[in-house]
Chains A and B, each alone.
Chain A
Amino acid sequence: MSETTEVAATAQTGAVVSGASASLWSDAWRELCRRVTFWVAVVILFFMGLLAALPSLFTNLGPNGHCDVRQAKQRPASWNPFAAGEHPFGTDSHGCDYWAQMVHGTRAPIVVGFLVTGIALTLAIVLGSLSGYYGRLLDAFLSRVTDIFFGLPLLLGAVVILTAFPSHGMFTESFVLGLLWWPTMTRLMRGQVLSVRDADYVQAARMLGARDLRIMVRHILPNAIAPVFVYAMLNVGVVIGYEATLDYLGVGLQYPTVSWGLQLSQAQEIFTDYPYLLVYPGVFLTATVLSFLLLGDAVRDALDPRLR
């Protein structure tokens, strides 16, 4: 029965243009799968994620566990970590196993990266949508607030606030960075909402009598969010870089937390003699940041083929 109606409908109105593609997201996904950079980034990030989530898979030492000052600054026996003995990455200036410290140092930057982006993204979506959708006074007010926050130099702001509250953990640091981070994303979100708000299909929904919440959730957000989402993904890498900078400067996380930034900070006085102390965290950090950037780029290109 359905076959006959299909034939009838096709005869009258023409065949469906293309049967293969289903939606923008599935098109984007197929495009992504074709990209080498995407897979490189995914593999690296998967590895980093595994280090952060399940460190016990990679080392049986705890953070700062079994540190022995007498064994400090042992160079790795070989540059090939798989061939080396007890301390494949050597030991740091406190005599801790450097591989174990690297593993445990992964969690903090990654958690901070996602938390800060999450906080900023949430604020951006809520404030940007309200600002763009309702316009007028609310928009004027929110835009001025955004401007004020935008005027704060990010790194300096973070240093000042974090110095004022010296005993902070990962979550306080994320909160502070998140508060400073949202303005750019909010502006982006607002612009997106503005461009979608007057689209014909939004008008059509309004003419059906749909309420504001439905219009926002069903029509505006799905069409406005892609660029913001991509920006957020690029952003995770940038935040990780900032987190490491703060740690390095001594205003971020503090001992006994372990992080790549702290490891770099510890190595700063002696790295000319013991370069591996700088190289390992440097490589891990760069690989992670770069992977997020590559991933964001790949997703952006896949979602918007016109940008290519």
Chain B
Amino acid sequence: MSAPLLEVDDLHIEFRTRGSTVSAVNGLSYTLDEGETLAILGESGSGKSVSAQAVMGILDSPPAHVTKGAVRFRGTDLLGLPEKRRRAYRGARIAMIFQDALSALNPVHRVGDQIAEMLIVHRKMSRGDARKSAVELMDRVRIPSAASRAGDFPHQFSGGMRQRVMIAMALALEPDVLIADEPTTALDVTVQAQIMKLLSELQDEMAMGLILITHDLGVVADVADRIALMYAGRVVEEAGVRDLYARPAHPYAEGLLASVPRIDVRGRALTPIKGAPPNLAAIPAGCPFHPRCPRARDRCSTEVPELRVVSAGADPGAAPAVAGGSAHRSACHYAEEVAGG
């Protein structure tokens, strides 16, 4: 069996500041296959962005330290590579787009030149060719009259158009993996719909693996193939998107689904999750979710539940656990009970 496109294995990241250590990521594992969309879903402080930065190799260190784990790209452990070889992967094999396009683009350079710069540096293209390719890329992300807009500065673009510029830049080197960190959070819904549509079309065209980092359960349902739900720096549930929404097997997933209002349902009572996300400097012992969990028992406060395959036996209607990526996994001692309803 060949190695998956991207594999994150037991990743641990700590932030060390004077006097305190914050555990942002505590044993994160997932895999991504070619052409697949994996959504990493989590609230603020769940470690979803930090782990993506570690995969990209753009973590600020210090204060962040990867203390354990591996990030394998087609079997090569990126964390073990010297910085010089690492750079060959960044941007070229794995690219990233951010929530805030305005601060990710250089305000004093024309956008066409910024895209061209990537090609000149990595592909050793001539300036003229690079400019031409930049316009083609802007065309490809559906920026109207790309040729004339290539000479504009980032602040002359609207929020949605800036996001497109950033996507064009990320795609310039035809990466195999695209990490999109909350790409539409700062955008209006009508523009968000445009960008999500664009991303999924581009993914189809280029057969990329797409990691979509978000807190929005709606966006995930629309575009993802598989979901990894994070809580306190760990994956607590991982499943195919339909499986997770239909039969959540972790109380946190269950709670999230019950607490979001839905535009297509009238007068549904919201059942909030009690409490607030944990303080990462003092993650609760045992299952990190147990203080907020309505199903918690004594065992939960002492024993850390492993991420394991949920056996389908509890629910005869459930899809059988398939080998490979689409198995339904949960890190709850009582996963079967939760999935059973």
A residues neighboring B (CB under 8 Å)? 10-15, 17-18
Contact = CB atoms under 8 A, between A and B. Distances in A.
Interface stretch (B68-76, B274-282, B326-334): B274-282
A21 to B, nearest CB: 12
A17 B279 contact: yes
A13 B292 CA distance: 10
Contacts of A15: 275-276, 279
18 contacts: A10-B275, A11-B274, A11-B275, A12-B274, A12-B275, A13-B274, A13-B275, A13-B276, A14-B274, A14-B275, A14-B276, A14-B277, A14-B292, A15-B275, A15-B276, A15-B279, A17-B279, A18-B279
Contacts of B292: 14
Nearest to B272: A12
A13 B276 CA distance: 6
For the side of the interface on B, what is the size category?
A: under 10
Contacts of A10: 275
A14 B277 CA distance: 8
Majority secondary structure, B binding face = loop
A83 to B, nearest CB: 44
9 cross-chain pairs, A with B, having the tightest CB-CB distances, nearest first:
A14-B276, A14-B275, A12-B274, A11-B274, A17-B279, A13-B276, A13-B275, A11-B275, A12-B275
Given A13-B274, A14-B275, A14-B276, 10 more contacts: A10-B275, A11-B275, A12-B274, A12-B275, A13-B275, A13-B276, A14-B274, A14-B277, A15-B279, A18-B279
A15 B284 CA distance: 12
Contacts of B274: 11-14
Interface in B291-317: 292
Contacts of A12: 274-275
Contacts of A18: 279
A18 to B, nearest CB: 7
A12 B271 CA distance: 12
Interface string B159-182: 000000000000000000000000
A173 B274 CA distance: 65
Max count, chain B CB within 10 A of own CB: residue among A13, A14, A17: A14
A10 B278 CA distance: 12
A78 B213 CA distance: 74
Interface string B25-52: 0000000000000000000000000000
Interface string B8-31: 000000000000000000000000
A13 B279 CA distance: 13
A251 B277 CA distance: 66
Contacts of B275: 10-15
A13 B277 CA distance: 10
A9 to B, nearest CB: 10
A198 B184 CA distance: 28
A18 B292 CA distance: 18
A20 to B, nearest CB: 11
B286 to A, nearest CB: 16
A283 B277 CA distance: 56
B270 to A, nearest CB: 14
Nearest to A34: B18
A18 B274 CA distance: 19
Nearest to B281: A18
A15 B292 CA distance: 11
A135 B243 CA distance: 59
A11 B292 CA distance: 8
Nearest to B279: A17
A16 to B, nearest CB: 10
A15 B283 CA distance: 12
Interface string B243-278: 000000000000000000000000000000011110
Contacts of A17: 279
A18 B279 CA distance: 9
A156 B253 CA distance: 72
A15 B281 CA distance: 14
Nearest to A17: B279
A93 B63 CA distance: 59
A90 B276 CA distance: 71
A13 B273 CA distance: 9
A89 to B, nearest CB: 43
A18 B19 CA distance: 14
A17 B274 CA distance: 15
A289 B277 CA distance: 49
A223 B277 CA distance: 29
Contacts of B277: 14
Contacts of B279: 15, 17-18
A292 B275 CA distance: 47
Interface string B119-135: 00000000000000000
B16 to A, nearest CB: 15
Contacts of A13: 274-276
B129 to A, nearest CB: 43
Nearest to A10: B275
Nearest to A18: B279
A148 to B, nearest CB: 35
Interface string B230-253: 000000000000000000000000
A305 to B, nearest CB: 9
A14 B279 CA distance: 10
A17 B292 CA distance: 15
A29 B58 CA distance: 35
A12 B276 CA distance: 9
B189 to A, nearest CB: 24
A7 to B, nearest CB: 12
Nearest to B18: A34
B118 to A, nearest CB: 32
B325 to A, nearest CB: 34
A59 B275 CA distance: 66
